[in-house]
């Protein structure tokens, strides 16, 4: 097996800085979160406000934050600014100036793998972001722990980009997900979980390979390597 990259090396990879995937994804319509995840973020959050009085959305690997900014605009027009909190995290600062106009939208430039949230969220998404992360399981665990009760985490995940003992082991990871009440759809390659929980997987992260080549998206992706702890 070729030498694997640590997180501090991986963040400088041209593959990780890919601008072709989630940089300009819309909230709804063509090339959107609606198309990928089957819900419009603004509508989803508005329903939560009507039920709970408030709502929050964390978008990991948010790209240019286009979907977040569009959602903020819609919610502002619906006069829900006081009941909504939006947060976006991305490794690159390609955020639009328009995002600064919304006091309830916070955008942060940092590595998702090493980031820890300061609050919990009703909705956490990661659209095509896990493809470019090293310790994918760590990020999934972070997201699940950051959910509010009855919150929803949804993300794209290609099991071919997670290796156990130097080889892809899709059934092995599906079993781990099922044991943790996490649903994985092999057709859409979407992982989903409702409600906060501890994600227990008992694996040791070895590092990542940024030269694994394209995955199902047609774009180059990062393969993460795990084994049992010594």
Angstrom distance (rounded) from CA 137 to CA 204: 10
pLDDT tens, position by position, 164-174: 998 889 999 99
Angstrom distance (rounded) from CA 225 to CA 220: 16
Which helix (H) or strand (E) segment is 10 a member of?
Answer: helix 7-10
Angstrom distance (rounded) from CA 29 to CA 37: 12
Helices then strands, counting H and E runs in the chain, come out as: 6, 11
Q: Cβ atoms within 10 A of the Cβ of 47, count?
A: 12
Angstrom distance (rounded) from CA 144 to CA 126: 12
Where residue 140 falls (left for φ over 0; alpha for ψ -120 to 50; beta otherwise) is alpha
pLDDT tens, position by position, 27-36: 999 889 999 9
Q: Is residue 37's pLDDT more than 90?
A: yes
Question: What would the CATH number be for the domain defined by 7-227?
Answer: 3.40.50.150
> In 3D, which of 16, 90, 91, 28 has the Cα closest to residue 58?
90
Confidence of residue 16 (pLDDT cuts 50, 70, 90): confident
pTM over 0.85? The answer is yes
Angstrom distance (rounded) from CA 98 to CA 125: 21
Q: Residue 189: what are its φ and ψ, rounded to 5°?
A: 60, 45
Q: Cβ atoms within 10 A of the Cβ of 136, count?
A: 27
Percent of the chain with pLDDT over 70: 97
């Amino acid at each position: 097996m070729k030498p694997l990259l640590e997180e501090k090396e991986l963040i400088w990879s041209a593959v990780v800085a890919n601008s072709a995937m989630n940089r300009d994804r819309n909230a709804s319509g063509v090339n959107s979160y609606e198309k990928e995840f089957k819900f419009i973020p603004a509508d989803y959050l508005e329903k939560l406000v009507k039920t709970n009085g408030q709502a929050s959305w964390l978008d990991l690997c948010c790209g240019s934050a286009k979907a977040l900014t569009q959602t903020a605009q819609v919610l502002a027009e619906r006069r829900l600014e006081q009941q909504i909190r939006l947060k976006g995290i991305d490794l690159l600062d390609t955020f639009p100036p328009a995002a600064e106009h919304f006091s309830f939208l916070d955008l942060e430039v940092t590595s998702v793998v090493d980031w820890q949230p300061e609050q919990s969220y009703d909705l956490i998404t990661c659209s095509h972001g896990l493809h470019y992360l090293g310790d994918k399981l760590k990020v999934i665990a972070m997201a699940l722990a950051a959910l509010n009760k009855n919150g929803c985490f949804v993300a794209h995940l290609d099991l071919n980009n997670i290796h156990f003992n130097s080889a892809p082991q899709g059934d092995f990871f599906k079993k781990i997900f099922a044991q943790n009440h996490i649903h994985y759809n092999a057709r859409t390659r979407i992982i989903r979980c409702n409600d906060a929980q501890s994600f227990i997987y008992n694996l040791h992260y070895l590092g990542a390979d940024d030269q694994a080549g394209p995955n199902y998206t047609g774009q180059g992706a990062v393969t993460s390597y795990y084994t049992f702890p010594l």
